[in-house]
Amino acid sequence: MAGAEPDLVLCPFLKDRVPEDVWRRHRVVVLHPGPMGDRGPSSLDWAITEDLPVWGVTALQAIEEMDAGPIWGTRTFAMPREADGPARKSAVYNGPVTEAAVELAREVAAKAADPAFVPQPLVEGAPGVIGRLRPTMTQADRTFSWADPTAHVLRRIRAADGAPGVRTVLAGVELLAYDAIPGEALPGEPGTIAARRHGSVLVRTGDGAVWIGHAKVPRGIKLPTTAVLGELLAGVPESLDHPITQGPSHGPREIGYRRVGEVGVVRADLYNGAMSAGQGHRLAAVLRHAVAQDTKVLVFEAGETFSNGIHLNVAEAAAHPAESWRNINAINDVCRELITCTHQLVVAAIGGNAGAGGVMLALGADRVVAAAGSVFNPHYRSMGLTGSEYWTYVLPRRVGIREAERLTSDCLPVGTAEALRIGLVDEVLTGTRAEFDAAVLDLAARLAADPDLPAQLAAKQAGRAADEQRRPLEAYRIQELAEMSRDMFDDRHGYAGERHAFVTKARKDEPGSVLALPRQRDERSVRVVAV
């Protein structure tokens, strides 16, 4: 804010109160993740805990009382649900809450340019005012017993995912639990661990069981639960679920393959989009299976977050650079499978945000389709890395060398409109996440049925062969890894410190960004500072 004289200060989802000298001097509008009348810092936590059907986002002017100022606008939406219960907080936040906030930000900017606009005061009990003042949710409010029904346990944990988690005890260890999905177990004492699978543990409840995928001890970092409990799981049986199946899964299947007619679909549903070395090895194996099938189109899709590259938490916990090295090589193997798949058309379906190597991973596909509202961070430098994932091959061939240099050096987020304009993606689809997934599958089916597909595949094979003659694919990998080895083992750009700050959520004082907005109809330009 220093030196800035904005017409409007826009504050998305504040954690702290706006200083009085700021809101008295400027028009400050806060985007609060709750419907009109909702007040308090635990808005989504209460909504998910109480399994409310409708929620919203409200733009209100900052005053002395937090979340109680005059209303600039509001949006409501149906709370998203999974097949087994309410969606976790991070999914609600990154989905409908963020989408509503973007719409409101545009509305607020337009209203700020209108001299006649006056925000309306909140009137308790008025039509549309469905929210109310709620206290900060504490661990005492979140507490549950493993003897409670599975649905109750799910709601409690999902209302605190990905922060702050819910305090509980597993194998005698007090920890915070995250990433819960229902499972099936033989009867036993609630709270006992029945099985483990790919980092998750299956915990018995009062009427079933719940898989807990991630956990952390107090003052620790969030990790796969098996890594947190370690040797305490000795003797706990491992439950294996083969990823190549069409049947239902009764546990966490992070990586899987299914076939729909002439289309093969590989799904990597990784928590927060982070891929560890072990997950990378499993994903590469599933892709090798998918590429060997006689399908015509291969769709690569992911979960809530498409991918953010290497698993920084696992790397931090290892406390040695060799884990990061193993991790980047495993993801490179995944990227190579997509790039070298020449007998199928490959579609990357980006249904959520993507960052760093996750963006480059998608660019190995022939067609990149993104959900409207997705945000891309196609750079590595802010983490002290030069990058790999064959980015020096896949990024310039899509956007050109000059644009590739800008994207990787400016370290700025890219929205879908810009991504479409510069060629980072080929198509942007609107709608809910379920509608996006269905639309991608429909697109893939149409591509598979296209009479021109054999010619497209022939051109793809010829292009890949020509590229290989010009410069072998492994040459890009070797050059990238030569730079990454200096980043990881010599720490020349501060990767260890940046990773630690990211994993431990260390706060950085960063200046607000000035957003250039188009002129309004009355030719007034509005200078907005987002903080």
| Paired strand residues for 73 | 59
Which of 128, 67, 56, 68 shows the shortest CA–CA distance to 99?
56
pTM of the model: 0.88
Which of 114, 113, 24, 101 shows the shortest CA–CA distance to 59?
101
Half-sphere exposure (CA, 13 Å, Cβ side) for 298?
29
Q: Is the pLDDT of residue 268 over 60?
A: yes
For residue 244, the model assigns a pLDDT of: 61
More confident residue, 308 or 432: 308
Cβ 354 vs Cβ 273: under 8 Å = yes
Least confident of 148-157, 217-226, 465-474, 512-521: 512-521
Alpha helices in 159-242 (DSSP H): 225-229
The mean pLDDT value for 97-107 works out to 91
Q: Is the pLDDT of residue 26 over 60?
A: yes
Which of 136, 272, 306 shows the shortest CA–CA distance to 199?
272
For residue 241, the model assigns a pLDDT of: 67
Amino acid, single-letter form, for residue 353: N
pLDDT in tens, 359-376: 999 999 999 999 998 999
The radius of gyration of the chain from alpha carbons, rounded to an integer in Å, stands at 24
Give the Cα separation of 403 and 409 in Å (integer): 10
Q: Is the pLDDT of residue 523 over 60?
A: no
pLDDT in tens, 149-165: 999 999 999 999 989 99
Least confident of 78-87, 189-198, 276-285: 78-87
Query: Would you say how long the chain is, in residues?
Result: 531
More confident residue, 4 or 282: 282
Least confident of 73-82, 187-196, 248-257: 248-257
For residue 347, the model assigns a pLDDT of: 98
| Paired strand residues for 54 | 78
